[in-house]
Amino acid sequence: MNAAPKVLTLAATGASGAVLTREMLRMLEADERVERVDFIVSDGGLRVFAEELGIKGRSGLLKSLLGKAPKKTVEQGNMDIGACVASGTHPCDAMVVLPCSMGTLSRIANGTAQQLIERAADVTLKERRPLVLCVREAPFNRIHLRNMQLASDAGAVIYPVTPTFYDLPQDTAAMAQQYVKRVLGHLGLPQADSYVWTGRGKRKQS
């Protein structure tokens, strides 16, 4: 398990799964181990927020997603290529792209950073920091698979958005929460109420 990151970058792109972004933001905001979260959302991500969560526009976006005013989360503009997260000198410990569209994956994998999300991901890779790409698509074509291989070879972790069922989720919100907890656990931020499979048809909370 990785050391618990204190400063993270979270990016949301134009793939389905806005509820996952919301759950991760809320868990990071509530986690006392985390000191700062830089949040970037693409224009496509904004459209998904509007369609899936009924949250429209950038005005008051973080407050709408968190359900309260943020204390440690800072929104960065995707067009601001000069933002702090665009530099390797910014003390960021890890980055997550959730959800990660195939277009974003392609630009990260091929090093064609035109906006802040891809630039921040490129910086994360060059500085050898953890980068988790939560890809969201089905089925994968050969281009998707090739880009995932390229990103993985460069140091990224490909973490497809796949639900678990051994925890007997009661609704889609529970599925989203468990997925986010697994990603955070992978980063070194295990959540106290995550389900851990023990085998033999049993499960436990840790």
For the chain, what percent of residues have pLDDT higher than 70?
A: 96
pLDDT at 196: 84
Q: What is the pLDDT of residues 47-69, one digit of tens each?
A: 999 999 999 988 999 999 999 99
- What are the pLDDT digits (tens) for 122-153? 999 999 999 999 999 999 999 999 999 999 99
Q: What is the pLDDT of residue 166?
A: 85
**Quick one: average pLDDT of 27-45?**
97
State the average pLDDT for the chain: 94
Q: What is the pTM of this model?
A: 0.94
* Nearest CA among 67, 86, 68, 69 for reference residue 77: 86
Q: What is the pLDDT of residue 204?
A: 56
User: Which pLDDT score is estimated for 17?
Assistant: 96
Domains in the chain, CATH or no CATH each: 7-205 (3.40.50.1950)
Q: What is the pLDDT of residue 167?
A: 87
3-class secondary structure per residue, the chain: CCCCCCEEEEEECCCCCHHHHHHHHHHHHHCCCCCEEEEEECHHHHHHHHHHHCCCCCCCHHHHHHCCCCCCEEEECCCCCCCHHHCCCCCCCEEEEEEECHHHHHHHHCCCCCCHHHHHHHHHHHCCCCEEEEECCCCCCHHHHHHHHHHHHHCCEECCCCCCCCCCCCCHHHHHHHHHHHHHHHHCCCCCCCEEEEECCEEEEC
pLDDT in tens, 150-199: 999 999 999 999 988 888 889 999 999 999 999 999 999 999 888 888 77
pLDDT of residue 154: 98
Structure tokens at 95: 């980055």
